[in-house]
Amino acid sequence: MSALTRRGLFGLTVLGGVSALTACGSSGSDGSGASPSAPAAAGASGGPTGSGRVNVLYAGSLVNLMEKQLGPAFATATGYTFAGFGAGSTALAAQIKGKVRKADVFVSASPKADEALMGAGNGDWVRWYVTYANSPLVLGYNPRSTFVDEIKTGPWYDAITRDGVRVGTTDPKTDPKGKLAAQALADTGKQHPKLLDIARDDKTIFPEETLVADLQSGQLDAGFFYSSEAKAAGIPTVPLAGVSLQATYTVTVLKDAPNAAGAEAFVTYLLGPAGTTVLRQDGYELTTPPKVTGTGVPAAIRKVIGA
């Protein structure tokens, strides 16, 4: 069974278990699963503090950043509990719109995912979003691969079309990175047709949230990643010569967030000094100043980004 087929079956399972996939934890008084937030107060981080679970849906390329760095640091600095879930941004937007998942914060790798949730026709789930960083698409490789020399010396489009090379990407239907990788393969494939075979092969498709582990475990020789996620995971990369594609990261507080105070605190932390320091260290190219799209950005968030 191909990875794409497995993903499709998983999606059916998710839709069949909506109640199990909404924000979880101890039930608050509103039945949302979030404990009532304490009044905001200045903490050691310089931002608001409080209590309760903050549910964050984020692009799967941010797994290491969110689960190992920002999430724990945010919890320590503010007193809130971080609860994250990563997947393809397009898929997450569809689940939010379909009320399959309920969360406080949405962090996407493409503004198009936010735009799919804006306006009355889309449920008004997103009324504003902040674009805060970008990261180029690159080819990451396993340093223990038998093809490591070919990949390092390139060109990349020759290396990944060698017989026996196992290359991975993500589903272009559910993930912006998969869509960018498909575009890179299609555009470069005009001069190097073997790349079109990779673009059409379902066996190259893996869930975004596991692609890093699939490469590191040796299941893959190479894969398409954003430079920042590769750096955070310690994956060596080579640039995609002739290709200029990148992730554009955004963040927003979703409509009817169960823990609105916690959501604002998380976004404030992400876009504030502590969060941007981590982003710079991981190689993200910060959008300076951050760009606001839409209206109704909370005052605390506007203040931290200087809007």
Taking only the tens place, the pLDDT of each residue in 4-46 is 444 443 343 333 333 333 333 333 333 333 333 333 334 444 5
What are the angstrom distances between the C-alpha of 270 and each of 71, 76, 282? Answer: 9, 14, 14
Amino acid 30: pLDDT: 35
Taking only the tens place, the pLDDT of each residue in 223-274 is 999 999 899 889 999 999 999 999 999 999 999 999 999 999 999 999 999 9
* 129 pLDDT tier (thresholds 50, 70, 90): very high
Domain total in the chain = 2
Amino acid 211: pLDDT: 93
Beta bridge mates, 224 = 139
Q: Closest Cα partner for 225 from 110, 160, 139, 158?
A: 139
Same domain? For 186 and 111 the reply is no
| Residue found under tokens 């090379």 | 165
Q: pTM for this structure?
A: 0.79
* Average pLDDT score over residue span 69-90: 96
Same domain? For 169 and 239 the reply is yes
Percent share of the chain, pLDDT over 70: 84
What's the whole-number average pLDDT of the chain?
86
Amino acid 307: pLDDT: 74
Could you list the residue range(s) of the whole structural domain that residue 228 is in? 135-246
Look up the CATH number of the domain holding residue 86. 3.40.190.10
* 154 pLDDT tier (thresholds 50, 70, 90): confident
Cα–Cα distance, 64 to 205 (Å, whole number): 20
Same domain? For 72 and 155 the reply is no
Same domain? For 48 and 97 the reply is yes
